[in-house]
Structure 1
Amino acid sequence: MSGAFSSINLHYLFGGLGITIIVSLISIIISFVVGLILGVVLYEDIPYFSRTVRFIVNTIRNLPLLLLIFFTYFALPKLGIELNAFAATVVAMSVFEATMVAEIIRGGLLSIGQGQKEGALSTGMTNLQTLWYIELPQALKRSIPPLISQFISLVKDTSLATAIVLPEMMFRSQVIYGQNPNYMIPMFILVAALYFMVNYSLSLLAKWFDRRMVS
């Protein structure tokens, strides 16, 4: 047990945790921004454009994330786009999660009563102003719980990048217990605890943010 938790192994594993967190943060930011835009496009039902976006979103949402990671890392170089394991993971996860965020935002916007939109338009506000000042703030507030759940899933899904040898936490744990099979269970327990701490911290942050929006 003590050998599994040697200072060298822990330093190596925590380095992987750092990569996991960085990949997650970048992917969360990109997917939220892109997903927000896509969600608005889906909600506004712009002729032809929204239909095309909906087709793309539905297609990507129904693909395995691992397939997207493989495509980004192995197939894009065939098209002249070379990405290292880190960039490929961020791109694949951001694209996949953006489609999930888009549906969450669209659902949040649809939950706003049409009476509010009609009332705002009747006062002389434009459709864009109504969206920005009336609908979107309420939709974002209502979308916090499902968004946080989706981002927690994103953090856990970073472990899929072991398939393209991204040296994140799960990959490094495999390297450690590859030295000694007796290290396997201690590593699994430690990795599980680290994932829990990261995701639980994310849920606490969401609750704090929710209270701030209510007050």
Structure 2
Amino acid sequence: MDFANAFSSDNLLFILDGFYMTLKVAFISIVLSFILGSVVGAVRYMKLPVLSPALGLIVEVLRNLPLLLIIFFARFALPDIGIQLGPMNATIVALTLFEGAMISEIVRSGLNSIDKGQIEAARSSGLGYLQTLWHIVLPQGLRRMVPPLVSQFISLLKDTSLAVVISLPELMNQSKIVSAQNQNYVIPVLLLAAVLYFAVNYALSLVARRLEARIV
């Protein structure tokens, strides 16, 4: 193991550039997948004719496909129908679709967990369906969604490492390149990558605990 040379200024900057790319892709994908998952989950909860079953089918298909396959599809199959995506955009699209499907189930389950008696009481008091959803169901459902949502966001951040297969210059790709320079660099570089992943994911879990405590 050669920590000194493995963490030369050039190598360290190279790896940190990859870490920045990981955070950038993860942040964009988290925002987009949360929006997509929330909308899809809410629509499925409302059981709209045709639309809800159609979205349910799409969600089930996406949830039961390997994320790696979706990444390959976004990067190499979409160009055949005229949609050209670079490694970063292909990764974001794949993560948004896959994680959005997962999040939609979390949202739908959270909404379904609310006691039906509260909904009936709200409706009988004169609140409309959307008002009941916004003022009664969502606030309570959110409390139960926070832990699984943050767990899903943590999984999303870790899943960015799969983009190494399409040469996205994220943390694992840059770490692989540096460690390939010298066999003695492998352990130091992988340890650094592990520390960086752990630091961000642990911070997310702490934020989730604080947020959950404030909501409750």
TM-score past 0.5 threshold:
yes
Mapped partners of 2:77, 2:66: distance in 1: 15
- Report how many residues are paired: 214
Identical columns (%): 52
Give the counterpart of 1:203 among 202, 205, 210: 205
Mapped partners of 2:19, 2:179: distance in 1: 16
Question: Which runs of no fewer than 5 residues in structure 2 stay unpaired?
Answer: none
Mapped partners of 2:106, 2:65: distance in 1: 18
Name the aligned partner's letter for residue 205 of structure 1: V
Mapped partners of 2:24, 2:141: distance in 1: 28
Name the aligned partner's letter for residue 63 of structure 1: L
Q: Residue 45 of structure 1: CA displacement?
A: 1.0
Aligned to 2:109: 107
Mapped partners of 2:159, 2:187: distance in 1: 21
Name the aligned partner's letter for residue 61 of structure 1: R
Aligned to 2:136: 134
Q: Residue 212 of structure 1: CA displacement?
A: 2.3
Mapped partners of 1:30, 1:208: distance in 2: 23
Give the counterpart of 2:38 among 36, 39, 42: 36
Mapped partners of 1:7, 1:104: distance in 2: 43
Mapped partners of 1:190, 1:8: distance in 2: 15
TM-score, normalised with respect to structure 1: 0.98
Name the aligned partner's letter for residue 34 of structure 1: L
Q: Residue 117 of structure 1: CA displacement?
A: 0.4
Aligned-residue CA RMSD (Å): 0.7
Per-residue CA shift, 1:162-188, capped at 9, x if unaligned? 000000000000000111111011111
Secondary structure of 2:114's counterpart equals coil
Aligned to 2:77: 75
